[in-house]
Structure 1
């Protein structure tokens, strides 16, 4: 959603008699800008409240009716309504104000532990539901009591769009005027703006300023520095792992069927497809045996399509607060949309949404996350290609497996002889071993029933053994390690056979 669309959305909420609007964000300057833009056409005065300063007329709004007549010339600090720092005093004060207005309360939800505050807040909200006045509450996490929640509507504050990010970069450069030199072509500037997508305005200004001050220049070389900082910021958010195209070195052996499908699906992002009113592909589900390349496939898709890879780990979504997990999911997919085009990898999706079939041991959380995911997958308009991976399809809700949810569902079996040869060559070369110095035919035969991950680990463990024995790695040493290993196909034979039976005639093989 663009900033202009956000303004229209907030205006609609105000005019449609919503007395309480909740905005969960730490970007208070953006909230202030949004409120000022939204109330300009509505001709409404705006007040803001915090425990530190009480109730004041918000700056930058021409429809605030009063000015501080006692302020010294040139002073820009707004007038404070006396004795309104206390939440109860502030609410009683605005109850007595007859005209329509917007009241922005910062970090107010912490005061709802007081029953008097809760009761008085409800009374004000009931009063406002008749005169189009609005209480807007902001904070990083806003928790409302049940008595208030039914009157409230949540406003999703989107991450900055490209226009906002461009302005933030320009503002940062202007603030450093005389101390840095800017050497960016229009194309490089567009790339820099694209690189900052997914960050807040404050983060963008800091990153740009740091990159420019480091050597006194802001040029194309700084795009890499900004990207590194962006990776760190996304990791710090705790919801997504970020792998840029430049850092993605994944190689996938085999999977010819999947690769052929992806080559065709990629045309869905082309201008020709848009001209025919075709929507880009939504995503794929990859199910199969552990260690056989599902995760590697997600990385390879992002690398082949030259898109950043965003990994959503199921465990990171869960929050101890009611509604916190759903909020984390909304934030994660919102971040993915802001970084589009991108590949969103949801690893082990059955752990996030597997409880949707029946068990309510988590209080229905899996059902709610499952519903949120299906709605987003169906309605998303941004070019975010979803790659979901699953080991245990028996835990997946049947609604997720029906045709139309994903563009295709693929099944990954143990690698065949040709794929094992490719996997052996890839990992030998990765560890600086020449594949032609080994008897690949013998190694391929010996590793029958081994997964790709098991083959990789065999090479790694054999290399450690060769270092310990002070000898070169050879075929005999690898075969020795192979014979000493019990693969998953043996230790979990029944589970693998059950998975194969479920996948037969239901999913498309990746080979």
Structure 2
């Protein structure tokens, strides 16, 4: 189901507390507003700087609330002739405040008997345990190719912008921008226009390079524009034949036929046997983008940081699909054993669950040096 339709369904079903996890606050609020307009709901936002603000077209007086607890109390008191949706910004900074947590839980329960819904838009996936049973937690997806095409269209319609894109070039440019946020894609397109003086097929390489730099900032992921082919790898004739038979499984024609995309392979061997080169060869032969996931870099020192990095990395791979996700030295996910309060087990469990449940065409190439350190459920 499309995400905007999902929000509309939740509103009509009178869900009272919905947490949207995203770094794209403006885009997420726009989606909530669209859902409000579709179901004739008023929409108010609150943050610590600007306090209450109308998001939809509202004419009723806005209550004054300069601190978060007062804002929550005012939400309960507000009585409007139409259903109302509240949007809270930056509330993840207040999770440690017991009165705030208690009031959110109370509102979630009391809003069931009114026509009110509370959205919390936050970049943090760490949710207080008291709210996990009360709230619906949603990851707001990155822009798909349709949304990126709209961003590109808006920019090319700006006065003074010269456009010389071929139809194939436009398609490849949008494909190159997958995995970027809406604002990141807009900046990449703008840089291409300013640098070259015109938006043409040369922008594809520039946007690809921009994406590589942005993905590198995620710490655990690295983007490879793999150019290796089967001729660069000696031997492995059976694997190469297996890959040739499945190369077309990622095409639109294969999807229309109902052919499932292959899920992945595991490459096991001592260092220096060509596992990394083989991963690059698969991406180059299939002409798909290659994302390298460094499992060791997933682990952070802060509570919840490792799980957050894992979630973001897998979400990015889902957005860029079809692609190759190269999970390098996967046994590192279990290397910490019982010394990290179960963090490595949770990270590995998240990866394993995603591999089992994923529906996007992401081909996983998992490499490991020691097969004895891998659990049976992986193999």
* 1:230 is the counterpart of 2:211: yes
CA distance in 1, matches of 2:177, 2:285: 22
CA distance in 1, matches of 2:169, 2:8: 36
Look up the match of 1:123: 106
CA distance in 1, matches of 2:197, 2:255: 43
Change beyond 3 A, Cα 1:390–1:245:
closer
1:203-223 alpha-carbon deviations (Å, 9 max, x no partner): 111111111012321111122
Look up the match of 2:32: 35
1:139-174 alpha-carbon deviations (Å, 9 max, x no partner): 222543332333222111111011110111122233
Q: 1:237 aligns to what SS in structure 2?
A: coil
Look up the match of 2:42: 45
Q: CA deviation at 1:119?
A: 2.4
Look up the match of 1:264: 245
* 1:98 is the counterpart of 2:95: no
CA distance in 2, matches of 1:222, 1:274: 29
Change beyond 3 A, Cα 1:276–1:6:
closer
What pairs up with 1:5-16 in 2 under 5 angstroms? 5-16=2-13
Task: Choose from 271, 274, 277 the match for 1:290.
Answer: 271
Q: CA deviation at 1:318?
A: 2.0
What pairs up with 1:211-226 in 2 under 5 angstroms? 211-226=192-207
Look up the match of 2:91: 108
TM-score by length of 2: 0.91
Look up the match of 1:368: 346
Task: Choose from 354, 368, 375 the match for 1:390.
Answer: 368
Q: 1:399 aligns to what SS in structure 2?
A: coil
Q: 1:400 aligns to what SS in structure 2?
A: coil
- Structure 1 runs (4+) deviating above 6 angstroms are 247-250
Look up the match of 2:299: 318
* 1:200 is the counterpart of 2:184: no
The answer as to whether partners of 1:231 and 1:243 remain within 8 angstroms in 2 is: yes
Q: 2:310 aligns to what SS in structure 1?
A: helix
Task: Choose from 102, 120, 129 the match for 1:137.
Answer: 120
Look up the match of 2:139: 156
The answer as to whether partners of 1:17 and 1:130 remain within 8 angstroms in 2 is: no
TM-score by length of 1: 0.69
Which runs of no fewer than 5 residues in structure 1 stay unpaired? 69-80, 402-511
1:24-62 alpha-carbon deviations (Å, 9 max, x no partner): 22212211211011122222111101101101211xx35
Q: 1:135 aligns to what SS in structure 2?
A: strand
Which runs of no fewer than 5 residues in structure 2 stay unpaired? none
The answer as to whether partners of 2:226 and 2:280 remain within 8 angstroms in 1 is: no
Q: 2:157 aligns to what SS in structure 1?
A: helix
Q: CA deviation at 1:67?
A: 5.1
The answer as to whether partners of 1:23 and 1:139 remain within 8 angstroms in 2 is: yes
What RMSD, in angstroms, separates the aligned Cα atoms of the two structures? Answer: 2.4
Change beyond 3 A, Cα 1:141–1:249:
farther
Look up the match of 1:462: none
Change beyond 3 A, Cα 1:257–1:317:
same
CA distance in 2, matches of 1:223, 1:110: 39
The answer as to whether partners of 1:18 and 1:132 remain within 8 angstroms in 2 is: no
Q: CA deviation at 1:183?
A: 0.9
Q: Report the more deviating stretch, 156-165 or 82-91.
A: 82-91
Change beyond 3 A, Cα 1:206–1:16:
same
Look up the match of 1:464: none
Look up the match of 1:301: 282
The answer as to whether partners of 1:318 and 1:325 remain within 8 angstroms in 2 is: yes
What pairs up with 1:421-432 in 2 under 5 angstroms? none
CA distance in 2, matches of 1:339, 1:250: 27
Larger Rg: 1
Look up the match of 1:335: 316
Equivalenced residues, count: 377
The answer as to whether partners of 2:226 and 2:281 remain within 8 angstroms in 1 is: no
Q: 1:129 aligns to what SS in structure 2?
A: helix
